[in-house]
Amino acid sequence: MPAQASAPSQPASMASPEAQKTGAAPAEENQVGTGAEKMGAPAPPYQKSWLARHFSLLRRDRQAQKAGQLFSGLLALNVVFLGGAFICSMIFNNVAVTLGDVWILLAALKALSLLWLLYYATCTTRHTHAMLFRDPHAGSIWVRGSLVLFGSCAVCLNVFRLGYDVSHIHCKSQLELIFPVIEIVFIGAQTWVLWKHCKDCVQVQTNFTRCGLMLTLATNLLLWVLAVTNDSMHREIKAELSALVENFSGNDTNTCVCLNATVCEVFQKGYLMLYPFSTEYCLICCAVLFVMWKNVGRRLAPHAGAHPGTPPFHLHGAIFGPLLGLLALVAGVCVFVLFQIEASGLAIARQYFILYYAFYVAVLPAMSLACLAGTAIHGLEERELDTLKNPTRSLDVVLLMGAALGQMGIAYFSIVAIVATRPHELLNRLILAYSLLIILQHIAQNLFIIEGLHRRPLWETAGKQEAELPRRGSLLELGQDLRRASLAYIHSYSHLNWKRRALKEICLFLILCNLTLWMMPAFGIHPFENGLEKDFYGYRTWFTIVNFGLPLGVFYRMHSVGGLVEVYLEA
């Protein structure tokens, strides 16, 4: 027994827990018992190895993260269902639930979200270990720029709405003036917080942060749903215009009429022009908030924070793409100006609709062919596919596919209306061709952008090769040869081979074309007012279809420009 007690303790300490439980290491038990008797203290509990403790903590952390995501997701789902029930009740039974009731609910949600945004910016982010990591892929400059641009337009929209309500204060409730003010404050605070903290990977107060992000996301989603379905302001402006005509003819009406017609006309046109930007702003905020929600509690690898420097934007000798894109841009601006001048009158002549749709029918096939050619060139490239997990890229793909449903949905509704009524007229043939081409162009462009986003950038591959070379210390000459070969490869690529040059030409052409197609529906009156679909589906249904699809279409063009810029830089 003494010989057993004096056995070396090192091998025994490495025994497995199962061996200790079954008595496979009696020597260690005797030694521990002897030590405990000498110290006069109880035997210490068995200590797990570092690896076991590490995996146990990782498993618990992953389970807690999933539980927090589930709870916050359920919170957002319940808020959306509650707000959706209010909005649907207002649409189908506007006597029991009025628009004012919906505004009160949204004002309460905006107030709660505003309190959380201020708490997050002033308290949560000030903790010592709150911001250990930042996602380098989140919050690109074009996303934050769009956030500020559309946020400013949404603020101006509420200013016009506030001015319109003030000019009708003699026949409206003063309580209605509060809601635009609350929304202006909410938009300003939300834009500032998202601009500053869109890259955060918060490590403290994770569950509370997830719930706050989901509450704010649900509020923006409900604001978007209300903007899509609520046409009360449009009907009010239309009724006021009809009342002015009746009063001018000598017939009195009970419609609330503005006292200063000139000022009210400015407010009306400003409101109608900026209306799509409010829905755009809500969609962008939902996307940024979702990325922040996915990044809560996320721990990045030490090398992930050091994002390789993206090369600056240079033309690299590209000529045909920018020239063709500028030609499309100039032609689009001319058509847009002519159409808007005509739209400022009481009625739009038929030839202006024909001109508008003829421009689309000319541009969309060229864009589709360019996208198909770019997709074919991607298949011939030597660059590897990037299979690493990237939440920002995954969200970009989802947004690209989801936003494409807007214009495609409107196109399918137009196809049904045209085929079922008058498909043989010239204007209807153009609209039918436009609808078919817009579907084809969206599909081809999505394939091209998604394929380009999943290709590994050239500078990233080069950086990986250079990082691996110093590890070949025992084969110094071989390492130097590989380094020279790698630098020669990069130098040859800097002069652009035909595939990279073609990709850059295609990207520049598509960027300018998407900017043109973004500008035309985003500003001013859209040619969906031609009357065919409105007469076929009814005003209320067609208003909902257009207000659902048009903001998504504008968002799609803007998001496509950002994706094409990334594909251009990585080519």
Query: Nearest-CA neighbor of 410 among 519, 558, 545?
Result: 545
Strands 133-134 and 200-201: antiparallel
**Within 10 A of 467 (CB to CB), how many other CB atoms are there?**
10
Compute, in degrees rounded to 10, the torsion defined by CA atoms 528, 533, 538, 539.
10
Query: Nearest-CA neighbor of 445 among 409, 499, 400, 412?
Result: 400
Biggest distance spanned by C-alpha atoms of the chain: 120
CA distance 459 to 571: 10
The answer to whether 257 and 240 are in contact (CB under 8 A) is yes
CA distances from 291 to 13, 142, 349, 391 (A): 46, 15, 46, 7
Query: Nearest-CA neighbor of 569 among 346, 316, 395?
Result: 316
What's 359-428 look like in SS3?
HHHHHHHHHHHHHHHHHHHHHHCCCCECCCCCHHHHHHHHHHHHHHHHHHHHHHHHHHHHHHCCCCCHHH
Contacts of residue 568, defined as CB under 8 A and 6 or more positions apart, other chains included, come to: 313, 503, 504, 507, 508, 511
Which tokens hold the place of 105?
């609910």
CA distances from 196 to 151, 192, 287, 304, 561 (A): 14, 6, 15, 20, 23
CA distance 405 to 437: 14
CA distances from 485 to 95, 359, 481 (A): 77, 49, 6
CA distance 186 to 92: 29
Residue 25 dihedral angles phi and psi, to the nearest 5°: -130, 70
β-bridge mates for residue 133, sequence order: 201
pLDDT of residue 505: 87
β-bridge mates for residue 455, sequence order: 385
The answer to whether 555 and 484 are in contact (CB under 8 A) is no
The 8-class DSSP code of residue 305 comes to S
Which tokens hold the place of 477?
């000459």
Residue 385 dihedral angles phi and psi, to the nearest 5°: -80, 135
CA distance 391 to 135: 10
The 8-class DSSP code of residue 134 comes to E
The answer to whether 291 and 198 are in contact (CB under 8 A) is yes
Residue type for 255, please? T
CA distance 243 to 227: 25
Q: How far apart are the first and last CA of the chain?
A: 75
pLDDT of residue 382: 63
pLDDT in tens, the chain (571 residues): 444 444 444 444 444 444 444 444 444 444 444 444 444 445 455 455 555 555 565 566 677 778 888 888 999 999 999 999 998 888 887 777 888 889 999 999 999 999 999 999 888 888 777 777 777 777 777 788 888 988 999 999 999 888 888 887 777 777 778 889 999 999 999 999 999 888 888 888 888 889 999 999 999 999 988 887 776 666 666 666 665 555 555 555 556 667 777 788 788 878 877 877 888 889 889 989 998 888 887 777 654 444 444 555 555 556 888 899 899 999 988 988 888 777 666 667 778 788 888 999 999 999 999 999 988 887 776 666 666 666 677 777 888 888 899 889 999 998 998 888 877 888 888 889 999 999 999 999 999 998 888 776 654 544 444 444 444 444 455 555 555 555 554 554 445 577 778 888 888 999 999 999 888 887 755 666 667 788 888 877 887 788 788 878 888 888 888 888 888 877 6
Q: Where does 170-220 show beta strands of DSSP type E?
A: 200-201
Contacts 24+ apart (CB under 8 A), 458-462: 458/383, 458/490, 458/493, 458/570, 458/571, 459/308, 459/309, 459/310, 459/311, 460/308, 461/383, 461/384, 462/486, 462/489, 462/490
Residue 455 dihedral angles phi and psi, to the nearest 5°: -90, 140
pLDDT of residue 232: 66
**Within 10 A of 488 (CB to CB), how many other CB atoms are there?**
10
Residue 393: burial class (beta carbons within 10 Å; 0-12, 13-18, 19+):
middle
pLDDT of residue 255: 60
